[in-house]
């Protein structure tokens, strides 16, 4: 009996580990999670039991785990987009549209919310505008329903001024956004990052392009294994 329990727990552990590498390629992350989870679970079952029954049990465990991760990402993305009066937009070209001041995307591994600088802060300031504070507060309210979600906030600038100046400004802006999220009473683990003018979306060769590069991004992760370096 102890051996069977140990094998089941091990299968779950292996399935969870393998799931962190499963990316979404379709329109439904829940469906992709189910498929990826089944494959990971089947592999875990085969590794542990070495027979068809173990493989099937592992597939069932992985399917359930993958479905939960995909469903949670879909739910968070949809809830946040709805609260902000928009939809989930996974088109990479949307980030290059100057009319898109707010983008909520879901790549199957994490949810990202992008706020353009012009709607967030006065020039050279890290103080949120009243409109930005209201919108960030809405994200915080949604996160209260997902206390296990890991939050990372990253700030980005254009390349006017030195790197160090822009690093301090970008980090302070990210911290201001994170502080505003926490004023909504969330207790999620979080990270704050300043990227200065690293990872420009477009070359800083015009006012239009510089405006596209000035932004704050909020990343929402189901676990630390899928956390990325937003500055690279």
Give the pLDDT of the chain (232 residues) as one tens digit per residue.
544 444 444 444 444 444 444 443 333 454 444 444 444 444 444 555 565 555 545 445 444 444 556 779 999 999 999 999 999 999 999 999 999 999 999 999 999 999 999 899 999 999 999 999 999 999 999 999 999 999 999 999 999 999 999 999 999 999 999 999 999 999 999 999 999 999 999 999 999 999 999 999 999 999 999 999 999 9
Q: Residue 2: its pLDDT value, please?
A: 42
Burial class (CB in 10 A: 0-12, 13-18, 19+), 224: exposed
Q: How many domains does the chain have?
A: 2
Q: Residue 132: its pLDDT value, please?
A: 97
User: Among 45, 67, 82, which residue terminates a domain?
Assistant: 82
Are 169 and 212 in contact, with CB atoms under 8 Å apart? no
Q: Residue 37: its pLDDT value, please?
A: 44
Distance between CA atoms of 88 and 200, rounded to whole angstroms?
Answer: 22
**Residue 57 domain boundaries:** 2-82
Give me the residue label for tokens 């909520």: 104
Q: Are residues 101 and 76 in the same domain?
A: no
List the structure tokens of 131: 């409109």
Distance between CA atoms of 166 and 161, rounded to whole angstroms?
Answer: 7
Q: Are residues 24 and 94 in the same domain?
A: no
Strand pairing class (190-194; 150-156): parallel
pTM of the model: 0.74
List, edge to edge, every strand of the sheet that includes 215-221: 102-106, 111-116, 215-221, 150-156, 190-194
Are 62 and 44 in contact, with CB atoms under 8 Å apart? yes
Number of helices (H) and strands (E), helices first, in the chain? 6, 5
Distance between CA atoms of 71 and 79, rounded to whole angstroms?
Answer: 12
Q: Are residues 117 and 77 in the same domain?
A: no
Q: What is the CATH classification number for the domain harbouring 109?
A: 3.30.1330.60
Q: Are residues 74 and 97 in the same domain?
A: no
Query: Phi-psi region for residue 97, left (φ > 0), alpha (ψ -120 to 50) or beta?
Result: beta
- Tell which residue, 119, 116, 144, has the closest CA to residue 129: 119
Query: Which of the 8 DSSP states describes residue 147?
Result: T
Q: Are residues 151 and 71 in the same domain?
A: no
User: Among 82, 111, 131, which residue terminates a domain?
Assistant: 82
Q: Residue 7: its pLDDT value, please?
A: 45
Q: Are residues 124 and 204 in the same domain?
A: yes
């Amino acid at each position: 009996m102890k051996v069977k329990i140990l094998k089941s727990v091990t299968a779950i552990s292996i399935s969870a580990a393998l799931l962190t590498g499963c990316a979404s390629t379709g329109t439904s992350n829940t469906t992709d999670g189910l498929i990826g989870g089944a494959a990971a679970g089947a592999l875990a079952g085969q590794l542990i039991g070495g027979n068809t029954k173990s493989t099937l049990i592992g597939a069932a465990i992985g399917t359930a785990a993958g479905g939960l991760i995909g469903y949670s990402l879909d739910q968070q993305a949809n809830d946040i987009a709805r609260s902000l009066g928009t939809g989930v937009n996974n088109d990479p070209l949307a980030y290059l549209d100057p009319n898109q001041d707010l983008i909520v995307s879901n790549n199957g591994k994490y949810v990202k919310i992008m706020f353009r600088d012009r709607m967030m802060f006065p020039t050279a300031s890290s103080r949120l505008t009243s409109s930005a504070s209201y919108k960030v507060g809405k994200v915080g309210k949604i996160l209260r329903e997902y206390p296990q979600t890991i939050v990372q906030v990253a700030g980005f600038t254009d390349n006017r001024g030195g790197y160090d100046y822009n690093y301090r400004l970008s980090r302070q802006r990210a911290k201001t956004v994170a502080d505003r999220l926490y004023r909504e009473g969330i207790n999620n683990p979080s990270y704050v990052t300043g990227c200065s003018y690293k990872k420009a979306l477009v070359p800083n060769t015009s006012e239009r392009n510089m405006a596209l590069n000035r932004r704050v991004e909020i990343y929402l992760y189901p676990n630390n294994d899928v956390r990325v370096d937003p500055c690279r």
